[in-house]
Structure 1
Amino acid sequence: MIKNNYSLKNIFLLGSIFGGSLVFSQTKVTGTVEDVNGPVANATVNVKGTNITTITDPDGIYELVIDTGKYSIVVSKEGELSKEQSLDVIDQNEISLNFILEPIAVDQETNLNEVVLVGSRAKGRTQLDSTTPVDIIDIKDITKDVGQVSLNQILNYVAPSFSSNTQVISDGTDHIDPASLRGLGPDQVLVLINGKRRHTTSLININGAFGKGSVGTDLNAIPTAAIKRIEILRDGAAAQYGSDAIAGVINIVLEDSTDKLLANISYGGNLSRNAENSFDGETFQANVNYGAKVGTKGGFVNFSGSYDKREPFNRQKEFTGTIFTDYNRPDLYPNPTGVDITDAELARRGESRSDYVSRIGQSKNEGGALFFNSLFPVSDKAEVYAFGGLNYRLGESAAFRRQPSQLTQTVQTIFPNGYLPLIQTNNYDRSLAVGIRGEIDNWKVDFSNTYGNNTIDFTAKNTVNASMLASSPTSFEAGGYRFTQNTTNLDFSRFFDDILAGINVAFGAEYRFERYQIVAGEEASYTNYGKARQIGTNADGTPIYIADPKGDVNTLFAANGSAIAGGAQAFPGFLPENAVNATRNSVAAYLDTEFNFTKNWLVAAAGRYENYSDFGSTINGKLSTRYKIGNYVLRAAASTGFRAPSLHQMYFSATSSVFQDGVISNSGTFTNDSREAQLLGIPKLKQETSKSVSAGATANWGKFKLSIDGYFIRIDNRIIYTGAFTGSNSSTASDQDKEIYQLLEQANATSARFFANAINTETKGLDIVLTYQDRLGRGKLRGDLSATFSKTNVVGGVHASELLKGKESTYFDRSSKIYLESAVPRTKINLSLNYTLDKWNVYLRNVYFGPVDGATNVVEDAQVFTGKVVTDLSFGYAFNKNISLTIGANNLLDVYPDKTHLGSLRGAGGYFVYSRTGQQFGTGGRFAFARLAINL
């Protein structure tokens, strides 16, 4: 196991070896910092790229102690231009280095770390000057202090409007965490990399989890080592960037540094009261990044690599349901009736209920990624760029354990004590963007092509096809998904500085091609070999049967008289009928303008036309404005938007095991052009449409910076994943119900689900962000307080088909409504404090995750899980400019969500001690970690 190979002791030992070998000769650097008024007190003096920092005394004097080597010393002071000087330390005892600062001019107030690329096609604007709210997250600063290593989890604790949690017993969704912005769906936020559209995953989330029925972008496929910063635009932007941008846009800016080798290794695990053997869920990650200059005109190539390994953990303590019945012991009970003999049998065996648990907690994952980012000037006014990467992850999640008492799903000669089915995912992700940009007659031109592909293949392991009896294998290739997206863009922009106070005009076109595929599994993964159909009768009137997996007659029965199940238990393979190879294309044209009527007043307007080959066209627009009043900015925006139904939602079909209200059943998902959909009147899918307005204000008081933004989003015709419709073969059933029943039988399913434009919703919210930065004693303090308050409600009735009038509660059931409205925190507050003193760094963060509801259709089992505060604390020490070490703990106080009641939220077997449907911050408990960073 990882913890044997990568122990904390080994990491500390490695740090001591490196640190001891490099700290052998130190030099004192002293000097004064002055400006036009004389000595500057409380100026920050930093050794660039390290935590070595000090401040000047009242006489402007500072002192640093550093090792031999080459450095850059940076001096900064609020209201003054930062100054940087190079320093080559070669065995001197003391060096003098003085600085003279200059005041910032009005047009030099922009801090380059605050310039944002998303939300505007004009020259870069700062966070506080943009017409809509944008968060900037410096990944390097964040990852050095926190224990989270995956991008989704990092953002969940840093960005209040962002929510994501690792899922439980959700098949492939256990490995691709659904992510939300402003409480909306995973498919209502657009992800860009370097401003170019990122492809979505090939997986559609159809199990019991937030974002049910949606297709999101796999952020965890992007290694943190490859990321320079992340920009989160918290406003509707479909008119600017196209489909999916209803909630906002996440733009990931890749690392572009050169002549630096950045590497780190992290190890941690759950050091928690509920952990198995007091320590579980071990996580190891190794990252490396290196960039090299190309030519002398600013060209570069930057490479990143990562390796991740995550061990599983389990939070189910014991199975409380039936493990053995008298059918399991015919030697003791020759006339069985199905009586529960669990306690007596466990006592006889010397076992306990904890020996028969499932794995309810975290899936296993292992993989790596390679990314690159590059730029090649080809002339004074043109440059070629390229970026992309590869990611592979091997995942293993557990399904619900099949107990010996489940006679129709077990084969006693293979698994006499039942078994824990495992679902293995081979997740491949690849992307490549290539473009050329330059200037033609004062117009900036950018022509690019972006390719992305995600492939997921499933293997059902440690399971059986019970209808094959003793000849059943225990591993099945179950098939998989493929999704490909290719986007070509041509963009033009120009700034006219001689009209008004400046006008920026941008326009362009986009062509996008998409392909979605489902690959069938091997025959044994989906076939029920106990089925037959009648072809006639004998002379005596007895029926004549022939074996037929699609037949309606069962021929194999368990000891209790129930028909034996077919297909791989827990994850039946995709049928040949499920296989699909669907494509579509879209074309778009946009116009994006910004009018600076005065130096303080900006008005921006954008319009976009988009046409899809499979459902038609849409036109959307956005109008926003910003007005500066001294240190204050007032801003507002209004827009219309849309989200095209994904190819997955249009063409996905499969049979899967679904746990709903304490019951496990095989549920079939059918396309909207299927016979099942026609029988129920399910219409074809169309786009979701939205209207949104926002208004806010920002303030820059030097040490304090504040932004407050409120918003309202109305979405019509939201696509939902329906509840389960069942047919009937009773003598009194209608012809429609009988046909539905027969079709479900052929699909090895007991119920049918669909995708449908079924509801309208309204979302209201308020985001607040306050930052503070100043000197405290000899060190530097930064504080960040941010909060989000949001609420989504379904408005109006369910858009059920005429044939399903009266069944609206199934069309859009209670649990689906909870998933959409309140299964993730509607309130989240984050307070983080970072204090740096010389070589030391202390990071303290408290995050309040508001209350959530557990999704259930049983009113008696309804439960609200109260809000909790999670505390993170870490300590960092820089041995020198090359080596630093951070140790700490996420969830320091070992806080857990409320426990579930004993109803269906927990399940008849006591599966979910903590809710799987209402998720706040996970169930790992305290996570202790150490990280060693190398900067050469």
Structure 2
Amino acid sequence: MKKSNFGSLLSISASFTAMLVATAAPAYAQDEAQADDAADQPAIIVTGTRRTDRTVADSPVPVDVLSAADLVNSGSTETNRLLNQLVPSFNFPQPSLTDGTDSLRPATLRGLAPDQVLVLVNGKRRHQSSLINLNGSVGRGSTAVDMNTIPPLAIERIEVLRDGAASLYGSDAIAGVINVQLKKGVGGRAQATYGKYITTMEDVGQVDAVALTTGAADNPVITYTGQDRKRRDGDTYTFASNFGLPVGDSGYLNFTAEYKDRSPTNRSGPDIRRNYFAAGDPREATFNRYAHRYGDGVSKDLNFFLNAGYDLSDNIEFYTFGSYGVRDGNGAGFYRRSSDVRNRDWAASTTTFVPIYADGFLPLIVSEIVDISAAAGLRGALGAWDYDLSLVYGSNLLNYKVENSVNTSIGGTDSARRFNAGGMRAGQTTVNLDMRRDLDLGIGDSVSLAFGGEYRDENYKIVAGELQSYINGPFSAAPFNAAGGSQVFPGFRPANATDESRDSYAGYVELDADLSSSFTLQLAGRYEHYSDFGSTVNGKAAARFEPIDGLAFRGSISTGFRAPSLAQQAFATTSTNNVGGVLIEVGTFPVSSPVAVALGAQPLEPEKSVNIGGGVTFNMLE
């Protein structure tokens, strides 16, 4: 089915400094002046190397840098959509009818899985979500970082490393690294945006009239207007504010708040089937033929981000940053017609078809997501060494609720219409120590040596839903054979509940050297040990050769790995389906469960990769 989308967006943006006039106006003016001066200088990157003077142009690996202005001027208010527009190798699809993935959507880099790209915030590992993507979603079977919890207004810039980097940063960096740098500046900005879709659905007819039929198996006769269906939906309101304050003589505090309200979209075609059980039912002529909902779900987001730092002395800086985000969203399932057996009230009559919902129903999966992160650290100089010691905690909680639904096996009178279906939780704690210094080895122009270590603890839980969300009621038995559980998403059963943990530790070393004015060499190696997967060693070599000023050749080769997430190892869900009148237990089982083992499942192993890249940079036309 083809469709053509035309989006209109009204954006109002204003800066405010009145609250800072008495204490911070000079600092704000200085901050803007420094920003103007920095715009004329080559961008220094902090991703793909731990050197402090490497620019995009002289990097041996490809790095895209997006500035705050790039993000603000793009017109979108979702970080994933911004990257999708601005980074060609980044893809952010919009799945529908995919359960929780309707509300927490994954993205991909370089066409690889969502969990094969590492996301950093201020250079520190960001936690993954608790959702494992199922059904027909992109990245099926993977978990991903929810980057839409990061307000674009909080971002100073984004660096996207399009090269394998597991030897530098560890697991998940097979496709590359996305490093989000938060704002530190003094001053403020408030923003309000509104947008909606103005869409023409090519070759999708607009229903004109419905003629009734009297045949027992006949569908109604539908006529069309002859025009393509038009939609005006997806209204999205975003209100965001960012402000920065000085803290004493040598500190900063930057805070961002964002609220976003998105209405659903619907790109479904007309349902031409008969909706009601009785032939010739007059309600057939007025029934909404677009009762299905295929498109964006409802989403209401509230996100906060804090970034702060203070110089404790000439050689020690304390820094901290963190976030708190809440999202209430919903996605639809398939519409259950009035005459659908899944809508039959067996408790009312076992001989006559009595619908529970008179006109049928559209069940909704409601996702309640809470995302929290907090980081603190010290960095500075210790003799000839630069150091960075940090502690980062992150968690993601997803609760499922099912609305406008029913557990048919209980009966229409006794069954709830709204269910608590349980949920998932994921947590991560990371401790990092990074050391770096310049060396004078008598070779080349400059040599940077870095080494460090990391400890990480992870936890994953599944919480069971309420009894009616998963139980097989009295009408599950023959001759009724009604499927149990809340329709569209049966709740997690107590047998699915789990609480799994693991830890890992790692050490790395990196050498980045300009051996001459035209030749750069980077070498890196990393050892990592997981409590559930054992040890792995990975390495990387990258080089850049510039025979003529402005023309350079670069390439890299590296090995990588990704340890399967705890969600991939421990996720479990079961439900009862009615297949041809026979009730069958179906489910997803961990590879370690007796059922999976009996079916031939093998223990998961770390993913391994070899990345070979090369390219040419041309910079002669500045």
Query: Which TM-score tier does this pair reach, normalised by the shorter chain?
Result: 0.7 to 0.9
1:110 & 1:228 partners in 2: Cα distance? 13
Separation in structure 2 between the aligned mates of residue 72 and residue 284 of structure 1, nearest angstrom:
33
Of the candidates 298, 317, 320, which is equivalent to residue 272 of structure 2?
Answer: 320
| Cα 1:353–1:221 shift into 2, 3 Å | same
Alignment pair present for 1:214 and 2:167:
no
Structure 2 residue 97 is the aligned partner of structure 1 residue 169: yes
Q: Report the Cα distance in structure 2 between the residues aligned to 1:468 and 1:374, rounded to whole angstroms.
A: 54
SS of equivalent residue, structure 2 residue 57: helix
State the 1:323 CA deviation: 2.8
CA drift at 1:139: 3.3
Contact 1:570/1:657 (8 A) holds in 2: no
Q: Secondary structure at the match of 1:212?
A: coil
- Where 1:204 maps in the other structure, the secondary structure is coil
Q: 1: CA distance between counterparts of 2:429 and 2:36?
A: 44
Q: Does the 8 Å CA contact 1:482/1:516 hold for their aligned counterparts?
A: yes
> Do residues 655 (structure 1) and 599 (structure 2) align?
no
Q: How far apart are 1:352 and its partner, in Å?
A: 4.9
Secondary structure at the aligned position of 1:510 is classed as: strand
Which whole-Å CA distance do the structure 1 matches of 2:229 and 2:331 have between them? Answer: 17
SS at match of 1:240: helix
Amino acid at match of 2:467: E
**Alignment partner for residue 431 of structure 1, among 373, 376, 394?**
373
* Superposed displacement of residue 113, structure 1: 5.9
Equivalent residue number for residue 3 of structure 2: none
**For 1:512, what is the secondary structure of its paired residue?**
strand
Within the candidate set 44, 49, 68, 1:120 is matched to 49
Q: Which residue of 1 aligns with 2:433?
A: 490
Q: Distance in 1 between matches of 2:268 and 2:142?
A: 28
Query: What is the 5 A alignment of 1:149-168?
Result: 149-168=77-96
2:236 aligns to what?
Answer: 283
- Deviation of 1:626 (Å): 1.2
Q: Equivalent residue of 2:410, what SS?
A: helix
Query: What's the offset of the Cα at 1:652?
Result: 0.2
Distance 2:230 2:613 in 1: 50
* C-alpha distance after superposition, 1:84-112 (max 9, x if no partner): 7xxxxxxxxxxxxxxxxxxxxxxxx9954
Indicate the SS of the match to 2:285. coil
- Deviation of 1:617 (Å): 0.8
- What RMSD, in angstroms, separates the aligned Cα atoms of the two structures? 2.8
Does residue 673 (structure 1) correspond to residue 602 (structure 2)? The answer is no
Amino acid at match of 1:357: A
| Correspondence for 1:465 | 407
Partner residue in 2 for 1:517: 461
Larger radius of gyration: 1
Are positions 1:395 and 2:329 aligned together?
yes
Separation of aligned partners in 2, 1:309 and 1:666: 38
The equivalent residue for 2:196 is: 269
C-alpha change, 1:656 and 1:205, in structure 2 (3 Å) is: farther
Matched with 2:503 is 585
Deviation at 1:287, TM superposition (A): 1.0
Post-superposition Cα deviations, 1:314-369, rounded to whole Å, max 9, x if no partner, equal 11131134534xxx34xxxxxxxxxxx4xx33xx2253564462110110000211
Q: Which amino acid aligns with 2:252?
A: F
**2:312 is equivalent to residue 378 of structure 1:** yes
CA distance change for structure 1 residues 132 and 83 in 2, over 3 Å: closer, same or farther? closer
TM-score computed with the length of structure 2 as normaliser: 0.86
Q: How many angstroms does 1:405 deviate by?
A: 2.5
Once the two structures are superposed, residues 776-819 of structure 1 have per-residue CA deviations (whole angstroms, 9 ceiling, x without a partner) of: xxxxxxxxxxxxxxxxxxxxxxxxxxxxxxxxxxxxxxxxxxxx
Q: 2:420 aligns with which of 477, 489, 500?
A: 477
**Secondary structure, in 3 states, of the residue corresponding to 2:341?**
coil
SS, match of residue 487 in structure 2: coil
- Find 1:135's aligned residue among 18, 39, 64: 64
Asked if structure 1 preserves the Cα contact closer than 8 Å seen for 2:108 and 2:117, the reply is: yes
Task: Give the Cα separation in 2 of the matches to 1:73 and 1:520.
Answer: 51
- Corresponding residue to 1:691 among 598, 610, 616: 610
Summarize the Cα distance change of 1:428–1:83 in structure 2 as closer, same or farther, 3 Å threshold: closer
Does structure 1 conserve the Cα–Cα contact (< 8 Å) formed by 2:199 and 2:230?
Answer: no
1:149 Cα shift? 1.3
The amino acid across from 2:300 in the alignment is E
Aligned partner of 2:356 in structure 1 is: 414
Task: Tell me whether 1:364 sits opposite 2:316 in the alignment.
Answer: no
Are 1:187 and 2:115 an aligned pair?
A: yes
Aligned length: 563
Structure 2 residue identity aligned to 1:647: L
Pair 1:83–1:112, CA change in 2 (3 A) = closer
Seq. identity, %: 39
Unaligned runs of 5+ in 1: 1-7, 23-69, 76-80, 85-108, 330-340, 532-553, 659-664, 704-936
* Amino acid across the alignment from 1:515: N
> What secondary structure does 2:569 align onto?
helix
1:115 Cα deviation from its structure 2 partner: 1.5
Instruction: Within 5 Å, give how 1:563-578 maps onto structure 2.
Output: 563-578=481-496
- SS of 1:577's partner is helix
SS of match in other structure, 1:650: helix
Report the CA distance between 1:404 and its aligned residue.
Answer: 2.1
State the one-letter code of the partner of 1:699: F
Contact in 1 for aligned 2:336/2:342 (Cα 8 Å): no
Superposition deviation, residue 147 in structure 1: 3.0
Q: 1:177, CA displacement in angstroms?
A: 1.4
Runs in 1 of length 4+ with deviation above 6 angstroms? 70-75, 81-84
Distance 2:451 2:175 in 1: 23
In structure 1, C-alpha distance between the alignment counterparts of 2:472 and 2:606, rounded to whole Å = 38
Give the SS at the match of 1:239.
Answer: helix
Q: Distance in 2 between matches of 1:474 and 1:604?
A: 60
Sort the Cα spacing of 1:702 and 1:366 in 2 relative to 1 into closer, same or farther, 3 A: same
Q: Specify whether residues 300 and 666 from structure 1 end up closer, same or farther in structure 2 by C-alpha distance, changes over 3 A only.
A: farther
Amino acid at match of 1:484: G
Matched to 2:594, the amino acid is R
Kept in 1: contact 2:44–2:54 (CA 8 A)? yes
Deviation at residue 74 of structure 1 after TM alignment? 9.4
Alpha carbons 1:320, 1:353 under 8 Å: kept: no
